[in-house]
Amino acid sequence: MDLGINGNTALITGGASGIGLATARAFAAEGCSLVLWDLSPNVASVAQEIADQYGVSVSSSVVDIVDQGTIDSAMQEIVATGRSLDHLVHCAAIGSGKFGFPFTNLRPADWGTTLQVNIQGMVNIAHAVTPHFVQRKLGTFVFLASVAGQIGSQTDPPYSASKAANINFAQCMAKDLAPHNIRVNTVCPGMVQTPLNQSVWQAWYHSAPDDEKLSYEEWAAIKIKNVVPLGRWQTCDDIAAMIVFLSSLRAAQVTGQTINVDGGFVMHW
């Protein structure tokens, strides 16, 4: 299927690893140029690797999404090159690193960093990129949220709350930006083997009684069996495929939607 995005340019936050990296590769496979932003200094070597593998232009910047100065500088670099952005995919996020079941296991101070990165970080990125898209009367946003933002996952309440905020703000954006021919959607992964998913297990493991501790593989297998109807992991590539589709001309009538790639984890009646 021709997605109609060959020659476009996609900016991806969190592009050096996990779902962000898989998304970068998926766009590159469609012939898109890339701009990768990540807090990790490895983003430059990742960008070069993708450029070499796919033969597309890939630039990168070390960007802290809660530092407006680094965001503004990175946007100025893009503008200075005369490049136009067509797509923004925001994957950068963190978990609290705490096991929050019940939520009273946490202290109010455990919430701040997660909310700052996951909510304010999204807001910062939206404000930085929107004027560029509005000027062009063209553009797509896809924000990576989580099924945890829809079901109130008890394992990490700060993360769950932040992902619910991401979904809600994306809908606000979709309404505001539709007159400018800009589409905004959210993709919610279910169970994906990423460092973030492993950190949830790690937080549980540290708080579990010794006679109840399970390896990551055992813990995940039980969870998948209990909550995922298809009974298997979702992969970073599964999520990336949906993100690229939603960014493409094939989804030209899709905006303000929350799409779950979760093996049936969340079903709305």
154 part of a folded domain: yes
Q: How many domains does the chain contain in total?
A: 1
Distance CA(121)–CA(124), nearest Å, equals 5
267 part of a folded domain: no
- Over its C-alpha atoms, the chain yields an Rg (Å, rounded) of 18
217 part of a folded domain: no
Residue 247 sits in which domain range? 9-189+234-261
Q: Which residues are catalytic?
A: 159
Q: What is the mean pLDDT of each run of 10 residues along the chain (269 residues)?
A: 94 97 98 98 98 98 97 93 94 88 90 98 98 97 96 89 98 98 97 82 85 90 90 96 98 98 87
210 part of a folded domain: no
Distance CA(50)–CA(23), nearest Å, equals 11
User: Phi/psi at 225 (nearest 5 deg)?
Assistant: -60, -35
**What CATH number has the domain bearing residue 159?**
3.40.50.720
Residue 194 has what pLDDT?
Answer: 80
88 part of a folded domain: yes
99 part of a folded domain: yes
Residue 204 has what pLDDT?
Answer: 80
201 part of a folded domain: no
239 part of a folded domain: yes
Residue 234 has what pLDDT?
Answer: 95
